[in-house]
Amino acid sequence: MTLSVVTLPGDGVGPEVTAQATRVLQAISELLNLSIEIHEALIGGAALDSVGNPLPAQTLEYCRSANAIFLGAVGGPKWANAKVELRPEQGLLGLRKALGLFANLRPIKIHPALMDTSVLRPELLKGVDILMVRELTGGLYFGKRGRSTSYAFDTCEYSVREIERISRLAGNLAKTRRGKVTSVDKANVLDTSRLWRDTVDQVFAAEFADIELEHIYVDAAAMYLLSRPADFDVLLTENMFGDILSDEASMLSGSLGLLPSASLGADGPGLFEPIHGSAPDIAGQGIANPCGAILSISMLLRHSLDQPQAADAVEQAVAGVLEAGLRTSDLATIEGNTISTTTFGDEVLSRLSL
């Protein structure tokens, strides 16, 4: 059987990190003797420039029929002033919506070799192992909106069904971990948050009696992520809160460039992407950190291709590079150990074994 993976390099550093992720996927498929067909397609600004649409119909068609999708990054200053439907981000948001990818998983672990690179003191980082579960197809990102010259609005909407399905996923994931879920909301102010809190309570009372559930306000969550990050296990959020808190949480690990993510629906292909953006300031220099992208391949192997052993192998190879003291410039603390994006890829490949 041949599996198919679509790669969407996108913009900025997207193509650079996608190149390394693709090499790793190719190498692991050879090691596994698994036939994987990799098909590259356009998204974001690159698609706008070449066909005038951030999510071309052909890209969507390839994605729908694939087993899994990998995305580099979208966006950049070149398209910053475009109308909403002509922004690169619409490509990614449209893809999430069209494929029903309602759950975004962002694991945050601190690699022991990087304890000193984090912005936090090492003693606060001991035991940090967070899984952010972010609702991805609702809320402010997809509510009614509008803008005139003197006025604009975005609305946040959530239905019980949307909250139930993401809560259930968070509960099931917590069962495979330390058995705790922290749900984030702003229930002291927002109606959507009050519905969120009540629905999460109902789902957990009915289906997850053995899971410890706590609720915290989003402003407090932002603080606790810095003051006691090791207390979190599964962190459940709506769309916008999850976007903000996941960038904050990435700083625990030392660099936004390190973290992978998986976006999953009820069925169909998953979408795997590093959580960093297109980083236009460093694009084209060959210095972007490909870790988040390569670790997204590990998540792709685990969640969409059912290859847990291969997923572990990719994680171990990345860990081996970091243990050897090799760093891209975002993490370099010692002169002389800085390597390029491609060399990081070479180092991962040379350590890859099943």
For binding to Mg ion (CB under 5 A), which residues are involved? Answer: 243
**29 or 263: whose CB is closer to ligand IPM?**
263
Helix-strand-coil percent breakdown of the chain, rounded to 5?
Answer: 45, 20, 35
**243 or 312: whose CB is closer to Mg ion?**
243
- Burial of 258-271, coded b for 16+ CB within 10 Å and e otherwise, reads bbbbbbbbeebbbb
154 binds ligand IPM (CB under 6 A): no
Q: Which of residues 10-39 bind ligand IPM (CB under 6 A)?
A: none
243 given a catalytic annotation: yes
Q: Which of 89, 162, 185, 238 binds ligand IPM (CB under 6 A)?
A: 89
Candidates 87-95, 146-154, 163-171, 312-320; binding stretch for ligand IPM (CB under 6 A):
87-95
186 given a catalytic annotation: yes
- Burial of 106-123, coded b for 16+ CB within 10 Å and e otherwise, reads bbbbbbebbbebbebeee
221 contacts: CB under 8 Å, gap ≥ 6: 182, 184, 235, 237, 241, 245
**101 or 348: whose CB is closer to Mg ion?**
101
**235 or 313: whose CB is closer to Mg ion?**
235
Torsion of CA 246, 250, 252, 256, to 10 degrees: -160
Q: Which of 75, 76, 269, 290 binds ligand IPM (CB under 6 A)?
A: 75
The item of ligand IPM, Mg ion, none sharing an interface with residue 92, based on CB under 5 to 8 Å by kind, is ligand IPM
141 given a catalytic annotation: yes
**56 or 171: whose CB is closer to ligand IPM?**
56
HEC assignment per residue over 12-73: CCHHHHHHHHHHHHHHHHHHHCCEEEEEECCCHHHHHHHHCCCCCHHHHHHHHCCCEEEEEE
Q: Alpha-carbon distance 36 to 338, whole Å? A: 32
219 given a catalytic annotation: yes
Q: Which of residues 226-285 bind ligand IPM (CB under 6 A)?
A: 243, 275, 277
Residue pair 133/235 in contact by the 8 Å Cβ criterion: yes
**230 or 240: whose CB is closer to Mg ion?**
240
Q: How far is C-alpha 81 from the chain's CA centre?
A: 25
Q: Which of 48, 92, 132, 169 binds ligand IPM (CB under 6 A)?
A: 92
Q: Alpha-carbon distance 353 to 175, whole Å? A: 30
Q: Alpha-carbon distance 342 to 84, whole Å? A: 34
Candidates 89-97, 166-174, 208-216, 224-232; binding stretch for ligand IPM (CB under 6 A):
89-97
Q: Which helix (H) or strand (E) holds 298?
A: helix 291-303
Q: Across-strand partners of 36?
A: 3
The item of Mg ion, ligand IPM, none sharing an interface with residue 25, based on CB under 5 to 8 Å by kind, is none
The item of ligand IPM, Mg ion, none sharing an interface with residue 89, based on CB under 5 to 8 Å by kind, is ligand IPM
In whole angstroms, how close is the CB of 330 to Mg ion at the nearest point?
Answer: 17
Active-site residue identified among 231, 247, 312, 346 = 247
Residues lying near ligand IPM in the complex (CB under 6 A) are found at: 74-75, 89, 92-93, 243, 275, 277
